[in-house]
């Protein structure tokens, strides 16, 4: 997706472009299955991705005999710490997902990425505020919703 498409998607849900970049920082933790980024590392390597990084990912995710249980960390540097290094990775062309790396190709979102890359405290404060806003998005109440005992199974 392009920044324009991502922005439109978030805007229809009441979130600004800045909030899109803030929420993308949630990718400081977690992982992605190989099939979500294979098109960036095989054939012609995506020009927005660091070549060495792409080659390393090829070792994790071979083109043939792809194991659906194999994953790669979204944050290659501090995958077990929730911090702003995710944004520093985007500056270094090491965003695993295209939808993340594209944030560093648009002049408006690039400014926000640069700001958070240099200020972990600002990122954490804004992330908390936007997560609070997200937690209130389309909440089902009363008989329209339920608190599940198992998230993947309707009670």
β-bridge mates for residue 73, sequence order: 31
Annotated binding residues for heme b, written as ranges, equal 27
Tokens of 39: 């098109």
Largest CA distance in the chain: 52
DSSP 2: -
Annotated binding residues for Ca(2+), written as ranges, equal 75, 78, 83
What is the C-alpha separation between 138 and 117, in angstroms, rounded? 31
Question: Closest Cα to residue 116, out of 82, 79, 86, 78?
Answer: 86
Tokens of 14: 């009441």
**Helix then strand then coil, % of the chain, to nearest 5:** 55, 5, 40
Question: Closest Cα to residue 106, out of 39, 6, 11, 12?
Answer: 6
Annotated binding residues, written as ranges, equal 27, 75, 78, 83
């Amino acid at each position: 997706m392009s920044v324009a498409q991502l922005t439109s998607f978030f805007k229809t849900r009441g979130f600004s472009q800045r909030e899109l970049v803030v929420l993308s920082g949630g990718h400081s933790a977690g992982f992605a299955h190989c099939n979500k980024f294979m098109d960036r590392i095989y054939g012609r390597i995506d020009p927005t991705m660091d070549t060495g990084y792409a080659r390393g990912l090829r070792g994790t995710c071979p083109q043939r005999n792809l194991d659906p249980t194999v994953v790669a960390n979204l944050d290659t540097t501090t995958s077990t710490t929730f911090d702003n290094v995710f944004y520093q990775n985007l500056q270094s062309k090491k965003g695993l997902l295209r939808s993340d790396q594209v944030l560093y190709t648009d002049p408006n979102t690039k400014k926000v990425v640069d700001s958070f890359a240099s200020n972990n405290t600002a990122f954490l404060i804004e992330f908390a505020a936007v997560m609070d806003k997200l937690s209130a998005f389309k909440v089902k109440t009363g008989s329209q919703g339920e608190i599940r005992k198992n998230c993947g199974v309707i009670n």
